[in-house]
């Protein structure tokens, strides 16, 4: 990160009684390099309003090119370093203006003390088009803005659907969604309501580069899914989720070293971590390393959205000896009307991640199951369900609500066994290869689409999974 943003971007600062203006330009060489642009806040200020604009704007969707996408965030004088308490929030390119004050802040920014001194606007030129990116940030001191009332459209007790029962101890959930605390269109209460009405038992809440949504969600439970607190660390060369973590993790340096360091720090702090949507337009995972991650989001949004590439990414690492759990995420962003972005599922639970949480379902049990690889992923909350268990003679497979699918058991050298599933309560014993190190299962429909896939079960040594 550059401290001397003023020089690089020719930032010009002017100030009248209430307004600070920061202007500058990014060239193509500045692409994907965050800069800090400092400004001074005098003592006694209780609220800031930040607005920004820039030339040749295009959407952040990685398929859009030939224009500019400029991300923004804010740090107060308590610091700008990794994990610093000075971090007041990051809104990518999805908010043109926001308020940060003592009493309230525009989500995802945090309200709180307004220390005098050097604050920094964080600017991230994610895309810079051929004509460069001219930007202008306007900051008003004490504009006396009031919070906008919330328009919550999903209220009341959720109506849970009737779903096929899961095996004892297994829970169904979704591990990836977005609200107004990043680029989603709904409030956490609404996302939780939608997840309850999808029939889910847990919901991983993963707004981009923020944790402000977690307090808004609360713990869930009762008629609602258990909330698994999380964050989607969104870098310019790949996204990763950290669950069971209530702080932000470094996202500004898109290098393999920096991302590996950040993943390691999160894992060391007890977070459960996955590499997200490693497939074209995911956006993809462009790092060689996956660090000490626990899981891969093998299935993100609709299966047809290039999840074959994520599956290949995961398979390649399994073959290389990595122990990585398979998880899924709907990446739901839009609950009001239809999402024009085909990468995202329209409702939570598509796909659904099933975890063997055992007799006491809570957040630690869910995260333990993910770390231990006791999961499978299915197309929807109604299944199909796919359970693999080691037995003395080999592998026992149970497939529920999968009539018409093919079961494939796959090891490092390829398909170990295949069978057609001819009933909705189907089971088989599969003899295991003597030379493989793991097997995994998947249920595939006649049109070739994967309907469910399990985590890998290690072979050799003691039975696991
Ligand atoms: Zn993502």
Give, for all 465 residues of the chain, the pLDDT tens digit.
544 444 444 444 545 546 999 999 999 999 999 999 999 999 999 999 999 999 999 988 878 888 999 999 999 999 999 989 999 999 999 999 999 999 999 999 999 999 999 999 999 999 999 999 999 999 999 999 999 888 888 788 999 999 999 999 999 999 999 999 999 999 999 999 999 999 999 999 999 999 999 999 999 999 999 999 999 999 999 999 999 999 999 999 999 999 999 999 999 999 999 999 999 999 999 999 999 999 999 999 999 999 999 999 999 999 999 999 999 999 999 998 887 888 888 899 999 999 999 999 999 999 999 999 999 999 999 999 999 999 988 899 999 999 999 999 999 999 999 999 999 999 999 988 877 899 999 999 999 999 999 999 998 754 443
β-pair type (238-243, 272-275) = antiparallel
**Cα gap 425→423, rounded to integer Å:** 5
**Pseudo-torsion of CA 385, 389, 393, 394, nearest 10°?**
80
Nearest Cα to Cα of residue 143 among 14, 11, 20: 20
**Cα gap 103→97, rounded to integer Å:** 17
**Cα gap 257→243, rounded to integer Å:** 21
Give the distance (Å) from ligand 1 centre to CA of residue 52: 24
Give the distance (Å) from ligand 1 centre to CA of residue 32: 16
Give the distance (Å) from ligand 1 centre to CA of residue 107: 19
Give the distance (Å) from ligand 1 centre to CA of residue 232: 7
DSSP state of 233: E
Give the distance (Å) from ligand 1 centre to CA of residue 296: 12
Strand partners, 409: 417, 441
Give the distance (Å) from ligand 1 centre to CA of residue 344: 10
The answer to whether 302 and 282 have CB atoms below 8 angstroms apart is no
Which helix (H) or strand (E) segment is 130 a member of? none
Nearest Cα to Cα of residue 252 among 83, 427, 63, 437: 83
C-alpha angle 370-371-375 in degrees, rounded to nearest 5: 30
Omega prior to 283 cis, within 30 of 0: yes
**Cα gap 77→107, rounded to integer Å:** 20
Give the distance (Å) from ligand 1 centre to CA of residue 62: 11
Give the distance (Å) from ligand 1 centre to CA of residue 206: 9
Omega prior to 108 cis, within 30 of 0: yes
β-pair type (325-329, 352-356) = unpaired
């Amino acid at each position: 990160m550059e401290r001397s943003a003023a020089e690089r971007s020719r930032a010009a600062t002017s100030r009248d009684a209430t307004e600070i203006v920061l202007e500058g330009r990014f060239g193509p060489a500045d692409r994907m390099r965050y800069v800090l642009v400092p400004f001074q806040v005098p003592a006694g200020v209780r609220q800031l309003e930040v607005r920004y604009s820039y030339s040749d704007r295009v959407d952040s969707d990685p398929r859009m090119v030939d224009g500019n996408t400029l991300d923004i965030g804010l740090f107060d004088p308590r610091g700008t370093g990794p994990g610093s308490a000075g971090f007041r929030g990051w809104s990518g390119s999805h908010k043109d203006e926001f308020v940060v004050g003592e009493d309230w802040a525009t989500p995802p920014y945090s309200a709180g003390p307004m220390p005098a001194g050097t604050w920094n606007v964080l600017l991230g030129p994610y895309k810079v088009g051929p004509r460069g990116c001219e930007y202008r940030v306007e900051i008003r001191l004490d504009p006396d803005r009031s919070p906008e009332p919330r328009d919550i459209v999903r209220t009341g007790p959720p109506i849970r659907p009737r779903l096929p029962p899961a095996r004892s101890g297994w829970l169904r959930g979704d591990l990836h969604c977005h609200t107004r605390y990043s680029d989603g269109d709904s409030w956490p209460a609404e996302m939780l309501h939608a997840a309850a009405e999808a029939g889910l038992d847990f919901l991983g809440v993963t707004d981009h580069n923020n944790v402000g949504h977690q307090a808004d969600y609360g713990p869930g439970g009762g008629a609602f899914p258990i909330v698994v607190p999380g964050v989607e660390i969104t870098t310019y060369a790949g996204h990763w989720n950290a669950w069971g973590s209530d702080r932000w993790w470094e996202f500004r340096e898109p290098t393999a070293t920096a991302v590996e360091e950040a993943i390691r720090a999160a894992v060391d702090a007890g977070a459960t971590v996955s590499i997200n949507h490693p497939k074209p337009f995911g956006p993809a995972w462009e790092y060689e390393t996956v660090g000490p991650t626990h899981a891969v989001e093998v299935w993100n949004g609709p299966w047809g959205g290039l999840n074959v590439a994520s599956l290949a990414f995961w398979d390649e690492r399994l073959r290389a000896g990595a122990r990585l759990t398979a998880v899924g995420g709907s990446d739901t962003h839009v609950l009001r009307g239809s999402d024009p972005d085909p990468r995202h599922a329209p409702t939570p639970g598509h796909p659904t991640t099933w975890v063997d949480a055992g007799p006491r379902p809570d957040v630690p049990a869910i995260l333990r199951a993910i770390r231990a690889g006791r999961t499978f992923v299915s197309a929807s909350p109604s299944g199909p369900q796919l359970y693999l268990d080691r037995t003395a003679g080999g592998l026992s497979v149970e497939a529920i609500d999968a009539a018409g699918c093919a079961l494939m058991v796959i090891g490092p050298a390829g398909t170990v066994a295949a069978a057609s599933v001819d009933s909705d309560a189907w089971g088989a014993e599969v003899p295991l290869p003597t030379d493989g190190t793991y097997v995994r299962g998947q249920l595939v429909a006649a049109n070739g689409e994967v309907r469910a896939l399990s985590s890998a079960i290690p072979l050799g040594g003691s039975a696991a999974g």
